[in-house]
Structure 1
Amino acid sequence: MPSQPSKELVVVPNPHPNTVYDVEMNCAEFTTLCPMTGQPDFATLTIHYQPKDHIVELKSLKQYLWSFRDEGHFHEDVTNLILNDFVSAAKPRFAKITGDFWVRGGIATKVTVTYREEAHA
């Protein structure tokens, strides 16, 4: 059965929750629609995070990113939405998402948003 877009990010237990390590995923085929023109906007998304108790299952990430293909979002908005959903699902120590959007009208846009778990005293 073919895959479908989904807003659900599935997480699984981190096999090394006591180790601080970095994961970086590059998603070179991200698309969303310009909310002003309806034209497609293309980007490479880079997701960099330090897992804590969970890691994000990659097929669900692919389906999640696919869910933006037919939605209208400004670059700043969609990058922040993805970070917020990612942090909500995975609850990482650290996460940074960079949306490197292709040139449109002579302007390329790069948006970077960061989350850092607050230290608890």
Structure 2
Amino acid sequence: MVTTTKAVGDLFDLIERKPDLLVDADLTVERDGVAFTVRGYDDLVAVDLPSFGAAFALFRDRPVEGADAAVALAAAGLTAEIRVRGAPVARLGADAVPSPLAKRLGFGPIQLFLDGVLLAITPRRG
């Protein structure tokens, strides 16, 4: 049986030998009855979730630790931006600048956007 650490390490080795990836995607994904979008713009992959509840559920059930995902994305030349209701709340990968708050919270090399969090939780007028 292959351990997760070995499999992730092998993935990093494989990615480091390849040129940077470019992503072109426009998907709607449904998970546990919640739909969200994934859009790729060259080296940026934007994941837009409808609520913080959906974002926390996705984070809680992630198949790879946040630090491992950030390193794998950076090695591939990609950046993932997590958005809630269209507002960017976090970024990881090549263009992420780890924020002190993310480090304090133990999220690792993830950039958090407090202004995006505030926009995402603010009720929208009609």
Higher relative contact order, structure no. (Cα contacts within 8 Å, ≥ 6 residues apart):
1
Same fold, TM-score > 0.5, yes or no: no
1 or 2, which has the higher strand percentage?
Answer: 1
When you count helix as a share of all residues, which structure comes out higher? 2
| TM-score range normalised by the length of the shorter chain | 0.3 to 0.5
TM-score, normalized by length of structure 1?
Answer: 0.34
